[in-house]
Amino acid sequence: MSMQVDLAIVGGGIAGLALALHLHERGIECHVFEAASEIKELGVGITLLPHAMKELQVLGLQSEIEAVGIENYESVFFNRWGQFIFKELRGRHAGYAIPEIGIHRGKLHRILFDACVSRVGADHVHLGYRLQSLTQNDSHVKLHFTDSQHQSIPDVTCHLAIAADGINSAIRKQYYPNEQLAFTGIQTWRGVTAHSPILTGKSYMRVGSIETGKMVIYPIIDAYDDQGNQLINWMAEIRTTGETQNDWNKQGRLEDVLPIYKDWIFDWLDVTALIRNAQSILEYPMVDKDPIDQWTFGRVTFIGDSAHPMYPRGSNGSAQGLIDARVLADQIQMLGVQDAKALHAYENIRRPLTSKVVQTNRTTPPDFINIKVDELTGGQPFKHIDDVISQAELQKISDDYKKIAGFSLNQVEKI
């Protein structure tokens, strides 16, 4: 006998949990079905830009997030020689009413999950539900699941089904069975390292570019140990040629990543030591998917990484998923949980905007500042950055990305 619910959210990640919280606030009953049989604090770092934090503030979670994260003071760019290129203040320090926060992804997920269990109800959050397929008619969607042991469990029947099951979405695959991840040869490694505070201790750093090696470095936990260290998140990237896509989230090897950065010893940071002392290293490809022309199929739609998987540049994937959740909840509230037109209305608002972000993350992400300087200098050291390009030109690159991604000061104030 199947379980009957009004609305089913397939996937208990950031976007799915945020949607459940929004629907609950609007008095709309929903159920979350997550494939994992238990919630663990997995992953490494994530940056919550002001537009992401604004969404989380609306959900009443800002204070909890600030308590376990680190508020960014500045974003700083360097070339691969450790030479200063550009910096700007971030979050509250740049005039926003809301902070920009670096946080462990697992801690953010735990905050959202606990809030969902507390508010929506433990009996509305179901773990160990792995979607196998779905069918639908004019009035209902039927979801077919197995448990963590791959045994069949009762189907779930609902009026609306939301695919929040990530970049490898089982629901999206049903509608796009031949779709492939887009891989352009950029290999990445991510790690976390206990290290003394770098620069201000609240600095988000981008160093180098993907052609010769790039590092993104920022703190995610303060006072990590009794020696005054922080937990520093770092991500290493390089474009390779003639190599196949590496596996997803496999254990990385120090001997693969360290040689790229063997001479990155600057007066403000020893990058080689940061990598060598990592607690763990994960290796995975930098991938996204080409924007698609349709998210909504009858009574089913996509949100978050299921809808618009994008390069992990600009700290924008989670922000876009959080915005999806609010917009979708608004449309469902206006049109009703039985009306599939709500899904189409949501898609018409969000799909054009997120498609532009996906394309911009590929072509002119925030680290385009580093790329541009490398182009102008041939990747070589310079005497002073002003001899290469003006700070005003670099500021424009940064401001243009903020506008496209939706977190210029004016845009965030309107949320």
Over residues 39-50, mean pLDDT: 82
The reported pLDDT for the residue numbered 244 is: 53
Q: Which of 296, 27, 339 is nearest to 162 (CA)?
A: 296
Give Cβ neighbours of residue 343 (< 8 Å, ≥ 6 apart): 160, 296, 299, 300, 301, 328, 331
Chain mean pLDDT for the chain: 90
Of 108-112, 203-207, 284-288, 348-352, the poorest mean pLDDT is in: 284-288
Tokens of 107: 């801690």
The reported pLDDT for the residue numbered 242 is: 53
pLDDT tens for 56-99 read 999 999 999 999 999 999 999 999 999 999 999 999 999 999 99
Q: Would 38 be classed as within a structural domain?
A: yes
Q: Would 202 be classed as within a structural domain?
A: no
Q: Would 410 be classed as within a structural domain?
A: no
Percent of the chain with pLDDT over 70: 93
Q: Would 10 be classed as within a structural domain?
A: yes
Q: What is the CATH number of the domain that holds 129?
A: 3.50.50.60
Q: Would 388 be classed as within a structural domain?
A: no
Q: Would 383 be classed as within a structural domain?
A: no
Say whether 20 sits in a helix, a strand or coil.
Answer: helix
The reported pLDDT for the residue numbered 241 is: 67
Say whether 23 sits in a helix, a strand or coil.
Answer: helix
Percent of the chain with pLDDT over 90: 71
Look at phi and psi of residue 414 and say left if phi exceeds 0, alpha if psi is from -120 to 50, else beta. alpha
Q: Which of 349, 257, 335, 253 is nearest to 296 (CA)?
A: 349
pLDDT reading at 360 higher than 80: no
How many angstroms separate the first and last alpha carbons of the chain? 43
Q: Which of 334, 331, 303, 302 is nearest to 319 (CA)?
A: 303
Q: Would 409 be classed as within a structural domain?
A: no
Q: Would 275 be classed as within a structural domain?
A: no
Over residues 298-319, mean pLDDT: 85
**Domain total for the chain?**
1
Task: State the number of CA atoms in the 13 A half-sphere of 227 facing the CB.
Answer: 7
pLDDT tens for 9-43 read 999 999 999 999 999 999 999 999 999 888 877 67
| Segments in 69-204 forming alpha helices (H) | 105-119, 170-175
State the DSSP string of 211-223: TTEEEEEEEEESS
**In this structure, are residues 224 and 279 in contact, taking their beta carbons and an 8 Å threshold?**
no
pLDDT tens for 169-228 read 999 999 999 988 777 777 889 999 999 999 999 999 999 998 889 999 999 999 999 999
**In this structure, are residues 18 and 325 in contact, taking their beta carbons and an 8 Å threshold?**
yes
Largest CA distance in the chain: 73
Q: Which domain holds residue 111?
A: 3-45+106-180+292-362
pLDDT band at 251 (very low <50, low <70, confident <90, very high): confident
**In this structure, are residues 232 and 274 in contact, taking their beta carbons and an 8 Å threshold?**
yes
Encode burial over 65-74: b for 16+ CB neighbours within 10 A, e otherwise: bbebbbbbbb
Of 18-32, 40-54, 114-128, 354-368, the poorest mean pLDDT is in: 354-368
Q: Rounded to 5 degrees, what are φ and ψ at 302? A: -110, 150
